[in-house]
Chains A and B, each alone.
Chain A
């Protein structure tokens, strides 16, 4: 048969496929209808609609495709060339919960069965559409689109293929191309249906194009019939209350007794106890007395402590704490029946937290509830008078006449503090010892003691004996030293913020000597470091004194290096005190070399051979050393290494990074008396911890009550998980407050409640446990989560990661510093996504390698302005890890770009919002503050002032409040407190004007009001931080308005959460006594933070947990746990550290 068009003869399908994939055949031809013939052998004759071009002809021939006009009858018609290819079976068709399947059901009855079957098998992710395609004579075709249909239903579709009215199941091989499930089209990737149409390739028959229409949820089209009409039985008022008698039953427990009630011979027993027990035991006991009409009854109680309660062999009724309640005690071997919940027990038996209650057994399971006010328990120790049987006899002073007649000798290494007028230097010592001017003369006090009855006052340390004026070189008695030290410490505590540098140096130096005498090496070093830090230049004599003290502690020679020194340097690792010794040596030698440059001592000759070794080991030691010591060490190393500024700069970067991540560590930086200073700081900590523990029950009840108002009904797992995460948050708080018992209890409870076999919960659990462990070990975690957890996150699916990251993004427990972009996995591979991933990297070099390409001038300048802003924002965030030079470069770029932005503000293509501008400025503040770049800060202050003149909106208010929370604290670090104050004032005035205007112009909208209140709260907090004495929370209008709005039910969940969290954060500036009732009020009245329809609803209730976290973090904040003065000292420490380090670094760079 002949055709008017060329006919191509393909020997087989593979050849046709090759012709198509190699683009030999024009693409526009392939989509057109054609006709052809297929032989039994597999040959294909296909009519080509146009004359063939020579090139095409040639190409076809090369593939052994014959062209001509003769062929068998071309009876088979297809709509596209792709139809010649039959569907191929897939070996392992994809079928999981995310597979989208499209069912094409021709018979409406079958559709009903299909829908019902899938609902019955637990799948309701069905969407339905009816489409009337062309060529079907108006007959609608039913389509059901299902996510993850049951296999059983898919098998139905497969089984019905041969039926007249089949159900066919399709999956999307490519966009808008649907093929039967279990099959694929060999050229499916090439298929492009027309726009707004989708293509169905049925197992047999013509290919069909259907218009894309919206699919409706099956629930919209389904009517569920109740088997019987609903009934609403009337509720009856239940008046009768159920009476349940409580009784005590036997119960074995290993819990120790903590309360003893002595009834028989109470007085005698107690006397016997105090006569035989040591005072440490007595310190742990308190007691109260009462009477039973005739006989006295004494009640002993062990003070709460980490240690186990003491075991007292008394004839008494012993009681143990019940349910860990601090004020309820049960007999040691009994418990309450029926078993009740903790909160119920507390409510029934121990309502009054100020009373101690015990259940006195009266036989047959019954008991008498007895209680006494807590205040009636007195420390037992205070009621004990230790009597001396005889008067104290003063010992005679040893007279010179009793001296032994030794040969005179010269003592070279004797340190004395006697107020002798001779200084040892007159005796030819080779060392310059401090002169006696450091030691003020003691007042002469009478040597005789009073002959009187011993009283309680005499239990104190006796008055120090005056040092004898003699030529003997006896050291003063330790008691005297300790007392002197105490005096100086008190003086420092009272006046530290008012002392001049010279006065402080003097105090520190004397305290250093006294600590040396008392062999308190850690405090000795701390005092010396503080003294040396305040000096402009290192004082060789001070350095020497420190060095000698360290050497003495290690029993090493200080005059010259000995083999023992070599051994010390050869050790693989040093202890902390050994490292301090090395540092003291370095500092001393540097001071000596600077003061006497020409002089070469034996040390000066010895050190250069060992500097490199010391340098190699020093970095590994840094973690346990104070920052001052580290910096002085590296200064000395740099000096002895030929002014190695690079190593000094690296040390500076490490110190700044440590300050950024961990802050000032009181344990490392401060001597003991400053760490424990403050108004009863340990009591404060305990008090805060107790309140936190009491809050836990209240919060759990609040969570349960909130579930009733949920928009959706959370599943059981989500409920349990929310309670579990609340416990994790509490465990974190308890660990921070050193309440390990509570932390363990919370951890255990969380572990039991948290659903297992869920990857998201698994990752969250690990993340929380990591942070809690850090706190239990005394670290202040501000680093990133460890690589092991990051690796686990990589294994999560996209949705799982999103659920996990939603919380991590907002949690300051999990990510205290950086806030990773939680959309970073979900965005397309564009700039923001790529940059956001850099924050996941741990290694500094990798981060640098990742960001540098974007900052290359060629790349950067070609980028759009908006992209440049994005790049710089990321660069600034990362600069805290990447060092000062990187930070400077980024800030410089930012200035240029910002200038360009200002010029471009009238551009129609892209305009920066005030919020974005303020975010940039905040970043600039934080970065510049971190590296003490005051000039940079001033530039950005000027920019901020310029913004204040612009029009505000709610978004810019939000950004400004964030700026105050984080950014302006950086000004504090560099000592720009005054500037911070000014900015605060200017902002407050500007904002208030705007707020007044906004409130007048627009009717009140609760959401808008909430945003404005947040801003005002932040301003209030900033004021309180700067001037706490001038800020009061009582009667504060903003606080009052905030409370009204929060408890009013007018706000949506998101706004309510934001406002509630802001409110709680602001409360950190109030006193503990003010905070507690306000928090109690919140948990009684705050409603509406419940589950919503967000993706995490099956895992946890985000609003509740976010709020609980904010509350717990309030409890562990420095503002609450530390005395105000201690906070100020820590801020001062950081300021002094940074100031000197930056100054000396700058000097070192200038001297290059």
Chain B
């Protein structure tokens, strides 16, 4: 069993030497995993991007469209130790103790409100919350704090959580006001759709294979291309890059955007956002916009080694907050970019 990952202090130079090999491994990881699914490469790519950027990703789709399966295999392919992974299917009746651990009775007797968090969400590095919007308000508050602030309160004292990668799944995107805060935390939302209409044969074949693997307890997708450490290193490396500023001979300073985001692409990005907001009435908050930049850079690095291209702007397809917005973005973003 793999050992739990701790957080070493890698330097930029160390990571810079490894960056290209990490990128290659991650590239193999996502391509390899895609072989075990039918028409899910797009989602797998997004999962990789979200995992590197350490931004939560929401999978939306009707039951039976491989949402849970994707996360499980992703987790397996990362060769993740058991204690670093937490998954749970939420219901209306789920209690906080099921997510963050039960109250420690002994501590409670001493007047301390401490939860026994081992093996629960606060201690996991990778988490999968299925039917996340079925959370009740008690769980909602805890989740928001964990996702947003990466904190968890024990007896009133905030403690950092170890969560680095969060995937969530849902059948429907709710319209409720109180869930909109949770919804907003997921910058990227991707639809997992049924594939039987266009890939009937492949689905049958692949599904049958999956059943065989399950019964025979085989996991051929665990090919050791990349592990969580690689994801974490990639994230750290990119973080270093975001913070760097380069000087030219004219003593002019260039930041990450100026180096890696060509002007015409940035303008394209800007006007695409403006058009989506003005014309298609898609809500894009400032926070989302900043996180989007990070995701664009991550994708550009993963797929092409650094400079953001027009193709990377496809990420804007996944900004929708409702099914209608998702459908609009699916149609319009490629059209606007000329990539239809």
Contact = CB atoms under 8 A, between A and B. Distances in A.
A156 B263 CA distance: 12
Interface in A99-118: 117
Contacts of A160: 267
B270 to A, nearest CB: 6
A23 interface: no
Q: Most B CB atoms within 10 A — which of A121, A152, A158? A: A152
A159 B267 contact: yes
A993 interface: no
A646 interface: no
B16 to A, nearest CB: 33
A565 interface: no
Interface in B249-274: 263, 267, 270-272, 274
A41 interface: no
Interface in A120-167: 120-121, 150-152, 155-156, 158-160, 163
Interface string B271-300: 110110011000000000000000000000
A159 B271 contact: yes
B279 A151 contact: yes
A156 B335 contact: no
A621 to B, nearest CB: 58
A159 B270 contact: yes
Contacts of B272: 152
B275 A151 contact: yes
Nearest to B275: A152
Contact of B336 (A121, A158, A159, A163): A121
Given A155-B271, A156-B271, A117 B279 contact: no
B339 to A, nearest CB: 11
Interface size class of B (residues with CB under 8 A): 10 to 19
A117 B279 CA distance: 17
B338 interface: yes
Contact of A151 (B263, B278, B335): B278
Main secondary structure of the interface of B (DSSP, over half): helix
Contacts of B263: 163
A158 B335 contact: no
Main secondary structure of the interface of A (DSSP, over half): helix
Contacts of A117: 338
A103 to B, nearest CB: 14
B338 A120 contact: yes
A152 B274 CA distance: 8
A120 B271 CA distance: 16
Interface in A66-122: 117, 120-121
B274 A121 contact: no
A105 to B, nearest CB: 15
A156 B269 CA distance: 10
Nearest to B271: A155
A121 B270 CA distance: 18
B335 A155 contact: no
Interface string A394-428: 00000000000000000000000000000000000
Contacts of B271: 152, 155-156, 158-159
Interface residues of A, number: 12
A159 B338 CA distance: 18
B271 to A, nearest CB: 4
B48 to A, nearest CB: 30
A158 B271 CA distance: 9
A156 to B, nearest CB: 6
Contacts of A121: 335-336
A109 B86 CA distance: 54
A944 B267 CA distance: 75
A146 to B, nearest CB: 16
Interface in A450-492: none
A117 B278 CA distance: 18
Contacts of A159: 267, 270-271
B336 A152 contact: yes
B259 to A, nearest CB: 19
B6 to A, nearest CB: 46
B279 A152 contact: yes
A156 B274 CA distance: 10
A156 B271 CA distance: 6
A64 to B, nearest CB: 43
A156 B337 CA distance: 12
Interface string A480-509: 000000000000000000000000000000
A158 B274 CA distance: 11
A152 B332 CA distance: 11
Interface string A1032-1048: 00000000000000000
Interface in B283-340: 335-336, 338
A155 B272 CA distance: 8
B338 A155 contact: no
Contact of B267 (A120, A151, A156): A156
Nearest to B278: A151
Contacts of A155: 270-271, 274-275, 278
Interface in A924-968: none
A163 B262 CA distance: 13
A663 to B, nearest CB: 55
A117 B335 CA distance: 10
A156 B268 CA distance: 7
A152 B333 CA distance: 11
Contacts of B274: 151, 155, 158
Contact of A120 (B275, B278, B279, B335): B335
Contacts of B335: 120-121
Contacts of A158: 271, 274
A163 B270 CA distance: 15
Contacts of B336: 121, 152
A159 B271 CA distance: 7
Q: Most B CB atoms within 10 A — which of A117, A151, A160? A: A151
A58 to B, nearest CB: 51
Interface string B91-133: 0000000000000000000000000000000000000000000
Contacts of B279: 150-152
A633 B278 CA distance: 69
B61 to A, nearest CB: 29
Nearest to A160: B267
A180 to B, nearest CB: 16
Contacts of B275: 150-152, 155
A203 B275 CA distance: 21
A121 B340 CA distance: 11
A101 to B, nearest CB: 15
A121 B267 CA distance: 18
A156 B336 CA distance: 11
A155 B270 CA distance: 8
Nearest to A151: B279
A46 B278 CA distance: 42
Nearest to A152: B275
A94 to B, nearest CB: 13
Contacts of A163: 263
Interface string A810-822: 0000000000000
Contacts of A120: 335, 338
Nearest to B336: A152
A113 to B, nearest CB: 9
A1059 B336 CA distance: 51
21 contacts: A117-B338, A120-B335, A120-B338, A121-B335, A121-B336, A150-B275, A150-B279, A151-B274, A151-B275, A151-B279, A152-B271, A152-B272, A152-B279, A155-B270, A155-B271, A156-B267, A156-B271, A158-B271, A158-B274, A159-B270, A159-B271
Given A121-B336, A150-B275, A155-B275, 17 more contacts: A120-B335, A120-B338, A121-B335, A150-B279, A151-B274, A151-B275, A151-B278, A151-B279, A152-B275, A152-B336, A155-B271, A155-B278, A156-B267, A156-B271, A158-B271, A159-B267, A159-B270
Interface of B: 263, 267, 270-272, 274-275, 278-279, 335-336, 338
Ranked 10 nearest A-B pairs via Cβ = A155-B271, A159-B267, A152-B275, A151-B279, A155-B274, A159-B271, A151-B275, A152-B336, A159-B270, A156-B271
